[in-house]
Amino acid sequence: MRILITGSTGFVGGHLVEHLAAAGGHALVGLSRRGAWPAALAHLAPHVQLVAADLLDAVGTERAVRAAQPEWVIHLAGYANTGGSFRDPDRAWAENLTGTRTLYDAIARSGLEPRVLFVSTGLIYGEPDRPDAACDESTTLKPASPYAASKAAADLASYQYSRSHGFDVLRVRLFNQIGPRQGADFAVPNFARQIAAAELGKQAPVVETGDLSAKRDITDVRDIVAAFPLLLQKGTSGEAYNAARGDSYRIQDLLDRLVSMARVPIQVHQTIEPGRKSDTAVTRADATKLRTATGWAPRVPLDRSLADILDYWRAVARG
């Protein structure tokens, strides 16, 4: 398959490229705004033709699509910072909704007819209707941030293009992913970064953290990306599919597991900001539809994910 991947140099994109390269038989073209691999992903350069393209540039995007001649498009690119979206909502809306529409319009003008997978987020569901209820694909969308709202709009636009433009588009809604190389602005890698630094004496043996009461449906990113080609092979055009383990874990429990893996005794110092409300207190997904359609199931145990993340940050701390 000739596969065009937007956002190929990001966290999920890097793991996707690794998965597709290992499977073999694909010609991979990646789009990124800068057209350069970050140092941690430099090993992927031989496997992907990387093209500089900004999805807010209609002419450049169409040129890239025509050159790639894709049979599949996996659309990962966009704004992905929930907290930052409150400070810069215009950027979130532009990169998530306008960027998606620009890509789809470029495909339409190219005359190509690839199968497209839009990568959405479980945050578009917001708070569950009942405490600890699992969200399925029919759950009402109640996004609680500009990031989630802009992704919900792009998700719905993808459905609209499949109906009124005849596009072969399907959607996958990702719940929380963890794995090596994830940035330290997310909870689990932030904990691991602090533990790794403490092991080397680069900081006091204390993990500084905020509220740990939230519960998240956590899946290893390497399992998540394995679902993408399966959906492109077996999914139904226009449909949405949740991708998640289906179990919720307290952030406190994830930190406790990481602390138990530390090579030095670690203390936890928790500071909860007065008046701060969690974006979504509990997330849990029903991924039955994905499992039934594709046979997909997560395979990486949670403790292996945590150990691999901690080892990654140990390597970073060593330099």
284-301 pLDDT per residue, tens = 899 999 999 999 999 999
In a domain, 277, yes or no: yes
State whether 103 and 231 are in the same domain. yes
Predicted TM-score of the model (pTM): 0.94
State whether 87 and 63 are in the same domain. yes
In angstroms, the Cα distances linking 230 to 133, 226, 233 are 27, 7, 5
In the predicted model, is pLDDT for residue 166 greater than 90? Answer: no
Helix (H) or strand (E) run with residue 37 in it: none
Query: What band does 127 get if pLDDT is binned at 50, 70 and 90?
Result: confident
In angstroms, the Cα distances linking 143 to 99, 146, 155, 290 are 19, 8, 12, 22
In a domain, 229, yes or no: yes
State whether 236 and 198 are in the same domain. no
Give the three-class secondary structure for 33: coil
State whether 276 and 238 are in the same domain. no
pLDDT, position 138: 95
State whether 170 and 204 are in the same domain. no
d(CA 83, CA 299): 30
Q: Which two tokens stand for residue 211?
A: 């509220």
Mean pLDDT of 90-109: 98
Pick from 22, 38, 51: nearest CA to 229: 22
Find out whether 101 and 93 touch, Cβ atoms under 8 Å.
Answer: no
